[in-house]
């Protein structure tokens, strides 16, 4: 059973997140349809956890190209392909959700092919720009990889003992990098949702 629950919420909102979690434990909070509430809060309550952890980072950084400006000023064919992949993923996800149980939906998101498809979008985005101004690669390195590395760093900071078991709930787009960072760190024995849902 998890000893901690880590959620895709910016770290600066952890206090508010836990105010909501405390209210939910007391029966004074109505859960939204958001997975943070529907899965994160409910798992934490079932595990009798005192608090939940906000582990996300999503700020602007100097030197990171503006995402929309990348599209306007650069190879629209590649950007359009990235958008198309994103739309396909969203469409397939929504369609799958409509005709399957939540358990099946979560298993589907954790399938290797779907994790790879999500990461493919970012790999294609990295190709946008010129040799002298590789804006896509800069955005991927200075924002996307950086963000996921900070999430990983925060997860490592939650380890207080070898007995800690951290339940991490994150959007599917993060799966490839977070799994890579966590598995390769030597700090974690990573188990994925499908290990428990099948």
Tell whether 74 and 139 lie within a shared domain. yes
Helix H or strand E encompassing 158? none
**Of 146, 161, 189, which one is at a domain's C-terminal end?**
146
Domain count, the chain: 2
Tell whether 13 and 55 lie within a shared domain. yes
Residue 129 confidence (pLDDT): 83
Residue 11 confidence (pLDDT): 97
8 A C-beta contact, residue 32 and residue 192: no
Tell whether 104 and 135 lie within a shared domain. yes
Tell whether 80 and 133 lie within a shared domain. yes
Q: Give the mean pLDDT per block of 10 residues along the chain (198 residues).
A: 97 98 96 93 97 96 78 72 88 91 89 92 89 89 97 98 96 94 96 83
Residue 74 confidence (pLDDT): 62
Tell whether 82 and 105 lie within a shared domain. yes
8 A C-beta contact, residue 42 and residue 7: no
Range of 85's domain? 67-146
Cβ-proximal residues to 165 (8 Å cutoff; 6+ apart), any chain = 1, 2, 3, 4
Residue 70 confidence (pLDDT): 67
Tell whether 75 and 142 lie within a shared domain. yes
């Amino acid at each position: 059973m998890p000893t901690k629950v880590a959620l895709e919420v910016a770290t600066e909102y952890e206090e508010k997140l836990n105010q909501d979690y405390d209210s939910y434990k007391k029966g004074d909070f109505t859960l939204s349809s958001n997975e943070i509430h529907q899965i994160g809060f409910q798992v934490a309550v079932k595990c009798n956890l005192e608090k939940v952890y906000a582990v996300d980072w999503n700020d602007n950084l100097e030197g990171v190209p503006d995402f929309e400006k990348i599209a306007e000023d650069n190879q629209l064919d590649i950007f359009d392909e990235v958008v198309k992949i994103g739309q396909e993923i969203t469409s397939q996800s929504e369609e799958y959700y409509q005709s399957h149980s939540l358990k099946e939906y979560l298993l589907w998101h954790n399938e290797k092919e779907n994790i790879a498809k999500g990461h493919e979008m970012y790999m294609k985005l990295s190709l946008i720009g010129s040799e002298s101004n590789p804006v896509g690669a800069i955005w991927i390195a200075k924002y996307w990889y950086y963000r996921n590395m900070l999430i990983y760093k925060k997860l490592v900071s939650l380890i207080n003992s070898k007995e800690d078991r951290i339940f991490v709930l994150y959007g599917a787009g993060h799966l490839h990098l977070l799994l890579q960072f966590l598995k390769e760190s030597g700090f974690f024995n990573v188990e994925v949702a499908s290990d428990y849902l099948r």
